[in-house]
Amino acid sequence: MNKFKDFATNLEKILDKEDIKIDEPMKEHTSFRVGGPVDILVTPKKFQEVVDVITLCKEHNIPYYIMGNGSNLLVKDGGIRGIMIKLIKLNEVKVEDNKIITGSGVSLKDISTTALNNKLSGFEFACGIPGSVGGAVTMNAGAYNGEISHVVESAKVIDNDGKIKVLDRKQLELEYRSSSILKYKYTVLEVTFNLEHGDYEKIKNRVEDLNRRRNEKQPLEYPSAGSTFKRPEGYFAAKLIEDSGLKGKSVGDAQVSEKHSGFIINKGSATAKDILDLIAIVQNKVKEKFNVDLYTEVRVIGEE
Question: Residues 169, 177, 206, 299: which is the catalytic one?
Answer: 177
Question: Residues 180, 224, 227, 257: which is the catalytic one?
Answer: 227
| pLDDT tens sequence across 22-45 | 999 999 999 999 999 999 999 999
Q: Closest Cα partner for 237 from 249, 248, 247, 224?
A: 247
Please say whether the beta carbons of 148 and 140 come within 8 A: yes
Domains annotated on the chain, with CATH: 2-86 (3.30.43.10), 93-202 (3.30.465.10), 219-301 (3.90.78.10)
**pLDDT score of 245:** 97
Please say whether the beta carbons of 132 and 87 come within 8 A: yes
Question: Residues 49, 147, 190, 297: which is the catalytic one?
Answer: 297
In the residue annotation, 206 being an active-site residue is answered as: no
**pLDDT-based confidence at 8, cuts 50/70/90?**
confident
| pLDDT tens sequence across 204-226 | 999 999 999 999 999 999 999 99
Residue 73 scores a pLDDT above 60: yes
In the residue annotation, 201 being an active-site residue is answered as: no
**pLDDT score of 2:** 54
| pLDDT tens sequence across 243-273 | 999 999 999 999 999 999 999 999 999 999 9
Mean pLDDT, rounded, for 2-8: 74
| pLDDT tens sequence across 141-199 | 988 889 999 999 999 999 999 999 999 999 999 998 899 999 999 999 999 999 999 99
Q: Closest Cα partner for 85 from 148, 158, 32?
A: 158
Mean pLDDT, rounded, for 80-92: 97
**pLDDT score of 145:** 86
d(CA 283, CA 288): 9
4: left (phi over 0), alpha (psi -120 to 50) or beta: alpha
| pLDDT tens sequence across 53-68 | 999 999 999 999 999 9
**pLDDT-based confidence at 124, cuts 50/70/90?**
very high
Q: Mention every residue, 6+ apart, whose C-beta is less than 8 A from residue 212.
A: none
Work out the mean pLDDT of the chain and round it to a whole number: 95
d(CA 279, CA 275): 6
**pLDDT score of 144:** 87
